[in-house]
């Protein structure tokens, strides 16, 4: 019988050279988030099923846990793997509310699990990077602007294709529908959310059938949904549709503040647009909503999303409003690796390979390696005392830029940059690699 494992689709694992890039991306995101004072937390992988499913209202496929050794009745642990980082964060806030400082700003970069049908950009285990700010009882609006800006800055530092952050506001859409006199506002939001999958006429029919809109009202909802601009000119365009509503006014003010507030952070690489068709489906957002798209990868749908929840968590006495953005690390990076858009990193972290003259002198090579490592230079010793040509190829295949040749006497050490072929006399206690090779 063969022991060769069967590949498991939907549970991607990276080669070392891709993992090196993913770790750099995670380090870069972490640095950006910390630069803005976001503290890191890590939550456990499991949550009670009833917390995950919120009494059955959830559309995500949850993986459940059971103990193999337990008998049938006791086997069901009542636990499931979290499908995002928001649900565990909300629970963590409630559990630690007495010890946390509010407003609490946290970032979290961890895997999540969903029992979905795997495809490009859609996995059963995937890494997310989330930032949220949560307040006790209240959370001023300026945090909506802040979290979007922080994510824009963090994404701008990544070596990935152009991104478009498309923002809308639930108050704006709800107020517009209400002011227009649509009987079922929630059904209208649900219908408009289908615009990326269905033609406008089909959505108009849904607005009439499900939301109770007239043909004329349905057309105005569609007009609202076509507005997409990168400045605050949407305010005038919405006003021109002639709907009057207080909530609409508030939504317009908030959305304009987010777009304005990001104006100095955007670039060609990361843009922010007001897109009045973004609704974020059935999730319980109450104000700002956003989705992030990657140029050339629109087929992946959003690579990130988020918004404001006025009730991120509640323990009956206290309510914790929050606002946050989630970025799909796996959804973004894995397709870029597959397409060769993102350069792989080095296969090994070593900067230097110390060659081996013969097995007897392994100690000498190890001493050189120790001296280099003491100075922070990642170093490995050759696996075997093959011909130097073979040892150089060993380094080449792994992407190690320097090969060190230990001399018989300590003054005769030489180091070769195998890319240029330059070879110089060097002392392991003073030699330094090129800045870019560290
Ligand atoms: P959602 O919670 O469904 O709105 O998804 C938020 C973000 O999580 C998306 O924009 C993706 O970046 C990411 N995401 C959701 N589902 C998956 C999945 N199955 N595989 C990879 N990334 C996902």
Segment 56-86, tens digit of pLDDT:
566 788 999 988 877 766 667 889 999 999 9
Please indicate whether residue 304, judged by its CB atom, sits closer than 6 Å to ligand 1.
yes
Pairing of strands 352-354, 402-405: parallel
- Cα separation of 111 and 328, whole Å? 10
The residue nearest atom 8 of ligand 1, judged by CA position, is: 328
- Which of 199-213, 308-322, 406-420 is predicted with the least confidence, judged by mean pLDDT? 406-420
Average pLDDT of 379-385? 96
Q: How far is the CA of 390 from the centre of ligand 1 (A)?
A: 46
Percent of all residues in the chain with a pLDDT value above 90, rounded to a whole number = 86
Please indicate whether residue 114, judged by its CB atom, sits closer than 6 Å to ligand 1.
yes
For 344-365, b where at least 16 C-beta lie within 10 A, e where not — what string? bbbebebbbbbbbbeeeebebb
Q: How far is the CA of 98 from the centre of ligand 1 (A)?
A: 31
So what's the pLDDT on residue 411?
Answer: 76
Residue bearing the bigger pLDDT, 339 or 437: 339
Residue 280: which of 351, 194, 158, 201 has the closest Cα? 194
Average pLDDT of 397-415? 89
- Which of 74-88, 153-167, 225-239 is predicted with the least confidence, judged by mean pLDDT? 74-88
Pairing of strands 270-275, 163-169: parallel
Average pLDDT of 107-120? 96
DSSP 115: -
Please indicate whether residue 331, judged by its CB atom, sits closer than 6 Å to ligand 1.
yes
Average pLDDT of 275-297? 91
Q: How far is the CA of 234 from the centre of ligand 1 (A)?
A: 28
Q: Which of 128, 160, 297, 324 to mutate to test the pocket of ligand 1 (most atoms within 8 A of CB)?
A: 128
Whether 312 shows a pLDDT value over 90: the answer reads no
Predicted confidence band of residue 7 (pLDDT cuts 50, 70, 90): confident
Residue bearing the bigger pLDDT, 177 or 75: 177
So what's the pLDDT on residue 56?
Answer: 55
Whether 238 shows a pLDDT value over 80: the answer reads yes
Predicted confidence band of residue 1 (pLDDT cuts 50, 70, 90): low
Q: Which of 12, 63, 115, 126 to mutate to test the pocket of ligand 1 (most atoms within 8 A of CB)?
A: 126
Please indicate whether residue 116, judged by its CB atom, sits closer than 6 Å to ligand 1.
yes
- Cα separation of 354 and 414, whole Å? 10
Average pLDDT of 160-173? 97
Q: Give Cα 295 distance to the centre of its chain.
A: 16
Q: Is the dihedral of CA 95, 101, 105, 108 positive or negative?
A: negative
Predicted confidence band of residue 3 (pLDDT cuts 50, 70, 90): confident
Pairing of strands 76-81, 64-66: antiparallel
Average pLDDT of 208-212? 94
DSSP E strand stretches across 120-256? 125-134, 163-169, 228-229
Whether 408 shows a pLDDT value over 80: the answer reads no
Average pLDDT of 273-302? 92
So what's the pLDDT on residue 76?
Answer: 77
For 122-161, how does the pLDDT look when each residue is reduced to its tens digit (9 = 90+)?
999 999 999 999 999 999 999 999 999 999 999 999 999 9
- Cα separation of 83 and 63, whole Å? 8
Please indicate whether residue 350, judged by its CB atom, sits closer than 6 Å to ligand 1.
no
Please indicate whether residue 332, judged by its CB atom, sits closer than 6 Å to ligand 1.
no
Give the mean pLDDT of the chain: 94
Interacting residues of 160 by C-beta distance below 8 A, sequence separation 6+: 294, 332, 333, 336, 342
Average pLDDT of 194-221? 93
Predicted confidence band of residue 282 (pLDDT cuts 50, 70, 90): low
Q: How far is the CA of 304 from the centre of ligand 1 (A)?
A: 7
Average pLDDT of 379-387? 96
Please indicate whether residue 86, judged by its CB atom, sits closer than 6 Å to ligand 1.
no
Predicted confidence band of residue 55 (pLDDT cuts 50, 70, 90): low
Average pLDDT of 362-375? 96
So what's the pLDDT on residue 53?
Answer: 86
Average pLDDT of 313-333? 95
Whether 170 shows a pLDDT value over 60: the answer reads yes
So what's the pLDDT on residue 58?
Answer: 65
Please indicate whether residue 128, judged by its CB atom, sits closer than 6 Å to ligand 1.
yes
Please indicate whether residue 123, judged by its CB atom, sits closer than 6 Å to ligand 1.
yes
Q: How far is the CA of 237 from the centre of ligand 1 (A)?
A: 32
- Which of 60-64, 212-216, 295-299, 325-329 is predicted with the least confidence, judged by mean pLDDT? 60-64
- Cα separation of 281 and 60, whole Å? 12
């Amino acid at each position: 019988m063969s022991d060769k494992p069967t590949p498991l689709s939907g549970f991607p694992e990276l080669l070392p050279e891709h993992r090196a890039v993913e770790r750099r991306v995670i380090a870069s995101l972490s640095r950006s988030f910390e630069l803005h004072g976001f503290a890191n937390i890590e939550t456990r992988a499991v949550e009670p099923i009833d917390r995950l499913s919120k009494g059955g209202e959830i559309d995500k496929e949850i993986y459940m846990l059971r103990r193999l050794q337990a008998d049938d009745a006791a086997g069901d642990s009542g636990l499931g793997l979290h499908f995002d980082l928001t649900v565990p964060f909300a629970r963590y806030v409630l559990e630690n509310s007495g010890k946390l400082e509010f407003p609490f700003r946290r970032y979290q970069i961890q895997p999540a699990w969903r029992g979905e049908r795997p495809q490009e950009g859609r996995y059963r285990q995937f890494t997310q990077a989330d930032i949220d700010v949560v307040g006790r009882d209240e959370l001023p609006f300026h945090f909506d602007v802040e979290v979007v800006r922080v994510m824009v800055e963090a994404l701008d530092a990544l070596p990935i294709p152009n991104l478009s952050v498309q923002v809308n506001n639930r108050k704006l859409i709800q107020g517009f529908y209400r002011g227009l006199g649509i009987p079922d506002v929630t059904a209208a939001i649900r219908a408009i959310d289908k615009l990326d999958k269905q033609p406008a006429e089909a959505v108009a029919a849904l607005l009439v059938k499900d939301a109770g809109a007239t043909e004329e009202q349905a057309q105005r909802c569609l007009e609202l949904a076509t507005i997409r601009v990168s400045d605050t000119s949407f305010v005038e365009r919405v006003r021109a549709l002639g709907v009057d509503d207080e909530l609409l006014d508030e939504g317009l003010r908030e959305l304009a503040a987010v777009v304005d507030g990001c104006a100095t952070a955007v670039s060609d690489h990361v843009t922010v647009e007001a897109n009045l068709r973004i609704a974020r489906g059935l999730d319980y957002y109450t104000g700002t909503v956003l989705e992030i798209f990657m140029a050339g990868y629109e087929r992946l749908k959003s690579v990130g999303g988020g918004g404001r929840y006025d009730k991120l968590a509640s323990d009956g006495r206290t309510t914790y409003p929050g606002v946050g953005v989630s970025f799909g690390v796996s959804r973004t990076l894995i397709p870029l690796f597959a397409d060769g858009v993102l350069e792989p990193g080095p296969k090994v972290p070593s900067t230097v390979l110390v060659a081996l003259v013969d097995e007897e002198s392994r100690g000498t090579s190890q001493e050189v390696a120790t001296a280099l490592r003491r100075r922070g230079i990642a170093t490995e010793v050759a696996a075997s005392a093959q011909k130097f040509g073979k040892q150089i190829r060993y380094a080449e295949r792994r992407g190690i830029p320097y090969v060190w040749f230990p001399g018989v006497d300590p003054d005769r050490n030489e180091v070769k940059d195998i890319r240029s072929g330059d070879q110089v006399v060097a002392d392991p206690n003073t030699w330094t690699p090129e800045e870019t090779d560290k």
